[in-house]
Amino acid sequence: MKIHETGFRNLVVIENKFYSDNRGGFTESFNEASFRLHTGQNITFVQDNLSVSVKNVVRGLHYQLPPKGQAKLVMVHRGAAWDVAVDLRVSEPTFGKWFSVELREGDNKQLFIPEGFAHGFIALEENTLFAYKCSNYYSPEHERCILWNDPTLCISWPTENPIMSAKDCSGISFKDYGSDFI
């Protein structure tokens, strides 16, 4: 496991080793002891989710309020996605800034997103299979959404024709966010 720092506290890109031979390949996508050792995070993941998206689907920017906040470990199993994390921790120098990384089938990369970030992605290919582990259970009453195209954040999404859910289109502006995370 190789850790790539992002400039945001505890937000890291993880690159897993991939072993291949004439039969195919193998990677260990998650090992709790190794994850804790390399990231310094003592997190238990309690829920795994998969989404399948057609090209240009934008999902997010989602987060859950404390005490139901979620850390996430995300990766792409099929296709490709441009993944975005927005820092909502008001005490951090990176508050209101965003980080993005392309995650692609076969690249063995994951993004660890600590609690206190809004998260979203765009599918770059048809039938992109996106997987994520969550440190807390989904809680509809704690779920929130910031507009994907918020003018304050100025996220450079790689699409001109996003496919969105009604829920994601009705997210709040970043200016209306407040201070749910310290």
Q: What is the DSSP letter of 174?
A: G
Q: What is the DSSP letter of 129?
A: E
The dihedral sign for the CA sequence 93, 14, 106, 64: negative
pLDDT for residue 179 is more than 90: no
Give me 85's structure tokens.
């994390």
- Average the pLDDT over 35-44 and give the result: 94
Question: What pLDDT, on a 0 to 100 scale, did the predictor assign at position 160?
Answer: 87
Total count of domains within the chain: 1
Catalytic residue status for 132: yes
Asked whether residue 50 is assigned to any structural domain, the reply reads yes
Q: Which residues of 117-133 are buried (b: 16+ CB within 10 A; e: fewer)?
A: bbbbbbbbbeebbbbbb
Question: What pLDDT, on a 0 to 100 scale, did the predictor assign at position 122?
Answer: 98
- C-alpha span between 79 and 162 (Å, rounded): 17
pLDDT for residue 164 is more than 90: yes
* Annotated active-site residue in 4, 63, 119, 132: 132
* Annotated active-site residue in 4, 62, 63, 177: 62
How many CA atoms lie within 13 Å of 54's alpha carbon, on the beta-carbon side? 5
pLDDT for residue 104 is more than 90: yes
Catalytic residue status for 4: no
Q: Which domain holds residue 21?
A: 2-176
Q: What is the DSSP letter of 46?
A: -
Asked whether residue 111 is assigned to any structural domain, the reply reads yes
Q: In percent, how much of the chain has pLDDT > 90?
A: 97
Give me 141's structure tokens.
């009453």
Asked whether residue 182 is assigned to any structural domain, the reply reads no
Q: What is the CATH number of the domain that holds 21?
A: 2.60.120.10
pLDDT for residue 180 is more than 90: no
The per-residue pLDDT for range 72-98, each reduced to its tens digit, is 999 999 999 999 999 999 999 999 999
The per-residue pLDDT for range 115-154, each reduced to its tens digit, is 999 999 999 999 999 999 999 999 999 999 999 999 999 9
Give the other-Cβ count within 10 Å of 166's Cβ.
6
